[in-house]
Each structure stands twice: as C-alpha cells, then as structure tokens.
Amino acid sequence: MSVKQHIKEYKRELVLEAAAKLFYEKGFQKTTIDDIGAALGVTKPFIYTYFENKYAILEQLFDQSYGDLYVDLTQVLNDKKGSAKDRLQRFVALYVAKNIEYQKFSAIMLEEEKSLSSKKIGDIRRKQRDFDARLARLIEEGASNGEFHVSDPMIASLAISGMVRWTHRWYSPQGRLSVADLTRTMSDLALNLVGCVRA
C-alpha cells in the first residue's frame, strides 16, 4: 500500500474514532456530521470523502466492533483443549476484559442497534444467537461430564452474556477495582452460576 493510501486509511480511522466518541456520548441520531467534523477541526465534505453517508459510519463501527469483540472469543469457545471449567473461566475473563477495553463500542452496539437497517439488525442478531449457542454448547459439555450442574445450558449461557455485557454500564477504570480484579471475580461468579464443583 502506498503512503498516500496509508494516510487516507488513517484519516478514515480518525473519523471513525471521533464518531464513536460522539455516538457514545450523545447517541447516533443526536450527533450531526458537523459535530464529527468539528471534533476533528474539519468540515462536512471531508467526512463525505471517506464515508458515503452518516449511516455508513455507524455500520462500519458495528462491523469493526463486532470483529474486535467476538472473533477471539469465538476462537476460545471453539478450542476443545482443557476442561470445560478452564475454558469457561478463560472465556468469561476474556469476555469481560474485551467489554471493558471496548467499552464505548459495547455501549454503542447495545444502544444503537435500532439505528441500523433491518438487514444489518438481522445479521447482528444471527451472529449473536450463534455466539450464545456456542457458549451454551460449552456449558452443556461441562454439564454432561459432571463438571457443571445446570438445568438449562441455553439460559445459563444467556445469563452469563447478560451479566458480562452489563459491565460496561457500571465499571469505571477509576474505581476501586482493577480490570484484573473484575475479570477474576466475574469468571468466578460465572463458574458459580453453572454450579461448577469448586476446589
């Protein structure tokens, strides 16, 4: 890739970053293209050279966030090495860490789903369901080999997703807990939740 292309790519990233910050703070609908421009000391046509329209910015943000948040996680879920307990623990720890690291994006994905096209909403929900189903399978595995004691692995999966995804709403890096504290505590709670026999 040429230097010029790199620079173009970089500017595009800057737009995305500024947009994410504003979408997080004020919401997608209340954020104007002028706002995004102002945040970068730039005007509207600048934005429109990198994105076809306002909606395209949001869509790219979702795609990127989904990648950042879920690709590694799915890998952990698919990895068949180790006990179900170890895998669940690792999974939840990573899930929490990612949710905190990408806090802004987690929030946007949660709160701005309705701003997407119905096609995109469908895509996202389908991926989400698939993801939840994989987690359920891991829990089921642990249940069938006696590591976990849980009556409904799917509900347990959704409960864990809920408790993890909620963290972005209350966790503050300035608070009494480090991210490491949080990931440890949350993965312990998840193991409790699935009735894991503890050491």
Partner DNA sequence: GATCCAATATACTGGGTAGTATATTTATTT
Partner DNA sequence: AAATAAATATACTACCCAGTATATTGGATC
Nearer to DNA, 8 or 134 (CB): 8
Nearest to residue 103, comparing CAs of 173, 56, 15?
Answer: 173
143 to 172: interface string for a copy of itself, x by CB under 8 A? -------xxx--xx-xxxxxxxxxx-xx--
Nearer to DNA, 33 or 76 (CB): 33
Asked whether position 121 contacts a copy of itself by CB under 8 A, the answer is no
Nearer to DNA, 19 or 186 (CB): 19
Amino acid at 24: Y
- Name which of DNA, a copy of itself, none residue 54 binds, using a CB cut-off of 5 to 8 Å depending on partner kind: DNA
Nearer to DNA, 14 or 154 (CB): 14
State the alpha helices, DSSP H only, in the chain. 3-26, 33-40, 44-50, 54-78, 84-101, 103-111, 118-144, 153-165, 167-170, 179-193
CA 63/CA 96 separation, integer angstroms: 20
φ, ψ (nearest 5 deg) of residue 118: -65, -30
11 to 50: interface string for DNA, x by CB under 7 A? x------------------xxxxx--x---xxxxxx-xx-
Least distance between DNA and beta carbon 121 (Å): 18
Nearest to residue 87, comparing CAs of 148, 154, 130, 167?
Answer: 148
Asked whether position 176 contacts DNA by CB under 7 A, the answer is no
Exposed/middle/buried for 15, CB within 10 Å: 0-12, 13-18, 19+? Answer: buried
Torsion of CA 51, 54, 59, 62, to 10 degrees: 110
Nearest to residue 100, comparing CAs of 25, 172, 163?
Answer: 172
Nearer to a copy of itself, 56 or 177 (CB): 177
- Note the Cα 137 to chain centre separation in Å: 20
Q: Which of residues 6-45 bind a copy of itself (CB under 8 A)?
A: 26-27, 29-30
Asked whether position 54 contacts DNA by CB under 7 A, the answer is yes
Amino acid at 161: S
**Residues at the interface with DNA (CB under 7 A):** 4, 8, 11, 30-34, 37, 41-46, 48-49, 53-55
**Residues at the interface with a copy of itself (CB under 8 A):** 26-27, 29-30, 110-111, 113-115, 132, 150-152, 155-156, 158-167, 169-170, 177, 182, 185-186, 188-189, 192-195
